[in-house]
Amino acid sequence: MNVKKITLPLSAEDVGSLHVGDKVLLSGTIVTGRDMAHKWLVEEKPREVKDVLKNGAIYHCGPIMLKKEGKWTCLAAGPTTSIREEPYLSDVMQEYGLRCVIGKGGMGERTAEALKKHNAVYLFAVGGAAVIYADAVESVEDVFQLNAFGVPEALWVLKVKDFSAIVSMDSHGGSLHDEVETKSNLSYKKLMDQ
């Protein structure tokens, strides 16, 4: 397996060098975002997050955070299912110049097309590894919409080091999810034909 160390923000060349199956160790700034965040980004188009998302990464995650002595710490940061953001993600990429999406389960056809159009990539993060991902968080840099959305739905700006993920949808049209589905359907058909 190809392992690539990538530093955020991402350049077009960084994204173009990534292919389905590559293991990525991301370092830099990522922003968490779930349903309420995506809806807010598309409907309200807030300017205050534009710079942090430009050529950056959004992580489908509802982290567990602890505030101690005025400072936030990330206790757990496991991925959440990405497909729920399918209605929004193409617009988020267009509006904010987003180059990377991290989550679990993959995305649909609309996002696959947006990844090609906007030269972006989808990284698969492993479910059940919330504490391991939290260990990759070096610091909490900022938070948006905390009072309005609450801790899990807020947009947390996290500085990470060697955040591990797998490229499962690339900017070239490749999709590990489609490959698995095709192979599974062939195996199923073969079993049913016996």
Distance (Å, whole) CA 125 – CA 103: 5
Which two tokens mark 33? 């975002």
State the DSSP string of 49-96. GHHHHTT-EEE-B--EEEEETTEEEEEE--B-BSGGGHHHHHHHHHHH
Distance (Å, whole) CA 24 – CA 132: 15
Which two tokens mark 123? 């990284």
Compute CA distances 122 → 37, 164, 168, whole Å: 18, 13, 6
Q: Residue 98: how many CB atoms within 10 A of its CB? A: 23
Residues labelled as active-site residues: 38
